[in-house]
A = this chain, B = another copy of it.
Amino acid sequence: MGINPQDKKALSDALARRLPAYYRHVCIMLAEGKQTITSSELAKKVGNTSAQVRQDFFTCGGVENYHPDTLKDWLSGLLGIKKEHHMVVIGAGNLGRAIISFKDFNTDGFFIDAVFDNNLMLDGMQICGIPILPATSLEDYLSANKVDIVVITTPASVAEEILEKSVKCGVKGIWNFAPVDLRSNENIEVQNVHLSDSLLTLSFRMNEKNNWKE
């Protein structure tokens, strides 16, 4: 049982995106007091088929049983959220503030410890109780404190530089909102979130549907 260490092939992106949805719905059903969950129930929630749920779970090594607690625990392990993650946010703009204010992260063990901004007027201030530090002190901070994930909400121009500093200081993950495609490498995992791309994808689908009607 469990992922075979020899088998070094990463699981597919499609699956890596479905796992959080499984986890989210299992948590909801657990909170609702459900005693058991079937593959078809879960499939219905996330919008796929029971066969895919079972195949996904099989691919991930299999789970003991389908009790909500067991499922939640097993998915937590897969998602790596049995340990705490410490994060810093780069950029104290609107998006940075929005991310800091997402209280939900804490329940899954994600903690934001500091915010960095190059506007020195903000130095010493706080956002939701998180201190704002000068951008120039980032490297010192990363060297002195254990930071697992760096969240980039800066303009595109400085994103690559922040990535490099992060790697140098042993950070293992980047959650990037700047409109550049940063790449994962052997030292660090990158998750790019391109909000405007997402809006364009929506527009594309709306347009596609509209064209069919003609």
Query: Which residues of A approach B to under 8 Å, CB–CB?
Result: 3, 5, 8, 10-11, 16-17, 19-21, 23-24, 45-47, 78-81, 85, 93-95, 97-99, 101-102, 104-105, 108, 110, 148-149, 172-175, 179, 181, 183-184, 189-191, 193-212, 214
Residue contact A10 to B208, C-beta cutoff 8 Å: yes
Residue contact B80 to A11, C-beta cutoff 8 Å: no
Residue contact B175 to A198, C-beta cutoff 8 Å: yes
Residue contact A23 to B200, C-beta cutoff 8 Å: yes
Which residues from chain B contact A17 at a C-beta distance below 8 Å?
197, 201
Which residues from chain B contact A47 at a C-beta distance below 8 Å?
181, 183
Residue contact A205 to B181, C-beta cutoff 8 Å: no
Q: How many copies of the chain does the oligomer comprise?
A: 2
Closest residue of B by beta carbon distance from A196: B104
Task: Report the bound CA distance from A24 to B199 in whole Å.
Answer: 12
Residue contact B16 to A205, C-beta cutoff 8 Å: yes
Closest residue of B by beta carbon distance from A107: B196
Can you offer 24 A-B residue contacts whose CB atoms are under 8 A?
A16-B204, A19-B201, A20-B197, A21-B194, A23-B200, A47-B181, A78-B204, A78-B207, A79-B204, A79-B207, A80-B206, A81-B200, A81-B203, A93-B101, A98-B98, A110-B203, A149-B206, A172-B210, A173-B203, A175-B202, A184-B205, A189-B205, A191-B202, A193-B195
